[in-house]
Structure 1
């Protein structure tokens, strides 16, 4: 055991440190070396060293024995490096109200678990928002026994073995003194109470599974992956504890014509050769209406035009993004002799329309998407 560092040195405290000093030092160092936070190669080993030191110095009996005898073989009943209990999870118990050392009050109120629900919505529902109702399965407090787990007219009784603490003390005599170990009560399994007559609805658990309908308001401007938190709509708490929260994760279906990037909308619009060469004024579908867009003569394929304020409402703030229109010039593949003569003279027919029927497969898809957008599909 000579290679072990002094526990007080590990936690950076003096031998006269109070219980609070030891706990504060442990929290600080455990937070620093926890493997989920610190990715250094030796972080896990250091965390275990800190945890071992705290397990000993936070227990009055173990600390007294350590002060008198120093490090001893854990196989002789001391606990030591092999006695980590809940392992890495213990640090989170301390940070979020667990208390530490496995000595939590079994009868204390406990917060319910959080729930997650994935909701898939249409493209325009994400843009403009919606209000809908969802049904989720969740655990709630049993109405019959009001969470006690006991049959109505009866109540749980305090465990006579652990006297309500939920823990048993096992005394072990060692060459270094009398050691006391604590473990979950074998009679009440750590609950601290015994239910002799169980509730017929929840069978003694104090909880039941229910299908709960919840009204959800999706704000305008949400995007793929956004989360909406509904406080208190998660699993029910126990022994009077608060309910957890419900997190709704948003998934957005793609649109046939529009694409989104943050608060801006993008679309691709086809132009005939004549429109691009001579210029024109065409109708463009937006999220809310049809607008006129002036195409200057000589416009090249791939040119972008901006429609200011025709994008997505800003989720946190005022105003809206913009709509960016990319024009693609559709090259005709079948021309009459008259049209060929006119093109040779650099003259346009002037009657070409975006509703024409090009023969190229890619161009056909652009026209079809635009037609759907005009119809509001």
Structure 2
């Protein structure tokens, strides 16, 4: 059989970090998924990307593979499994994919499918897919319909699920395999995330920053009133404890204040700005120059 370079399959460098490897797999999975791609060899490319991610996305398997690769093997080299390699026995056409969904090269290193040793029953490899959801769905939990292999499935999204976590659908991958749905978040027009903390920016007028007061703030759980302390500067972060993403513990929401200066639309308002400049010891000309 021939040696496979899994880094080359995913199109990443050997020193790529976990995030880069995951992103490369997602890109290829979306491109070559049999339900989407019209290319004649899309299914084989999808399986190759899935196999590469099974190795490089697992710290223990990647360490074993890197040890082997460091011995000088290159793509296409004739390969003889080392004594420490996996317990399963490859067979049949060496360059193809068996009924486990993995190539014989993979099985020669790590065993058939996910079997852990001799005599253990073979478990078919999982099928992986990616599902992007709205932040609101991740916050509250929801049910969503997805199309997989020509079938429509209803998926329960648990509240608080984080990007990168997966939902396992037993037996829904076809041929007795499980379907693993890796979750991602769609970009939100209002909220940003820092771990489980939610960030929202809120504009306030100068007088509210000076004198303080209450403002209404949106959260994923509904609008709440927030007290702005007197003397607040732009960029100040105010905490709404427990208003972030669910979890143990739950995240917080931070409101970042942005001071917005209203544009004068009348002579009375322009005169008010002149009075403000004089009160702080600046002439109107100085204020205009600035």
TM-score (norm 2): 0.55
Q: Is the aligned partner of 1:334 residue 2:259? A: no
Specify every segment of 5 or more residues in structure 2 that has no aligned partner in the other structure, as ranges.
1-59, 85-92, 96-102, 114-120, 278-290
Distance verdict in 2 for CA 1:43–1:134, change over 3 Å: same
8 Å CA contact retained: 1:113, 1:234:
no
**Counterpart pick for 2:66 among 33, 37, 47:** 37
Q: Is the aligned partner of 1:309 residue 2:242? A: yes
Q: Is the aligned partner of 1:136 residue 2:148? A: yes
Question: CA–CA distance in 1 between the matches of 2:252 and 2:186?
Answer: 20
Kindly provide the CA deviation profile for residues 169-190 of structure 1, in whole angstroms up to 9, marking residues without a partner as x.
xxxxxxxxxxxxxxxxxxxxxx
> How large is the Cα RMSD of the aligned pairs?
3.6
Which is further off, 266-275 or 329-338? Answer: 329-338
How big is the shift at 1:321? 0.6
Question: CA–CA distance in 2 between the matches of 1:51 and 1:262?
Answer: 42
Distance verdict in 2 for CA 1:333–1:213, change over 3 Å: closer
How big is the shift at 1:127? 1.5
Question: CA–CA distance in 2 between the matches of 1:341 and 1:52?
Answer: 85
Q: Is the aligned partner of 1:121 residue 2:133? A: yes
Structure 1 equivalent of residue 157 of structure 2: 218
Specify every segment of 5 or more residues in structure 1 that has no aligned partner in the other structure, as ranges.
1-30, 55-84, 99-108, 138-210, 237-242, 348-377
Superposition pairs of residues 1-377 of structure 1, within 5 angstroms? 36-38=65-67, 41-44=70-73, 51=81, 86=94, 89-90=104-105, 92-93=107-108, 95-97=110-112, 112-137=124-149, 211-236=150-175, 243-314=176-247, 317=248, 319-334=249-264, 336-343=266-273
Distance verdict in 2 for CA 1:259–1:94, change over 3 Å: closer
Question: CA–CA distance in 1 between the matches of 2:63 and 2:72?
Answer: 7
Distance verdict in 2 for CA 1:342–1:278, change over 3 Å: farther
Question: CA–CA distance in 1 between the matches of 2:138 and 2:61?
Answer: 40
How big is the shift at 1:320? 1.7
Structure 2 equivalent of residue 140 of structure 1: none
Distance verdict in 2 for CA 1:272–1:39, change over 3 Å: farther
Kindly provide the CA deviation profile for residues 270-291 of structure 1, in whole angstroms up to 9, marking residues without a partner as x.
0112211222211111111221
Kindly provide the CA deviation profile for residues 351-370 of structure 1, in whole angstroms up to 9, marking residues without a partner as x.
xxxxxxxxxxxxxxxxxxxx
Look at both structures and tell me which one has the larger radius of gyration over its CA atoms. Answer: 1
Distance verdict in 2 for CA 1:234–1:337, change over 3 Å: same
Decide which structure has greater helix share: 2
Distance verdict in 2 for CA 1:326–1:43, change over 3 Å: same
How big is the shift at 1:336? 3.8
8 Å CA contact retained: 1:34, 1:43:
no
Distance verdict in 2 for CA 1:53–1:128, change over 3 Å: closer
Question: CA–CA distance in 2 between the matches of 1:276 and 1:247?
Answer: 49
Distance verdict in 2 for CA 1:335–1:275, change over 3 Å: farther
Distance verdict in 2 for CA 1:321–1:32, change over 3 Å: closer
Secondary structure of 2:73's counterpart equals helix
Number of residue pairs aligned between Structure 1 and Structure 2 = 194
Structure 2 equivalent of residue 369 of structure 1: none
Kindly provide the CA deviation profile for residues 101-159 of structure 1, in whole angstroms up to 9, marking residues without a partner as x.
xxxxxxxx97545322332322201221112333321xxxxxxxxxxxxxxxxxxxxxx
TM-score (norm 1): 0.44
8 Å CA contact retained: 2:235, 2:256:
yes
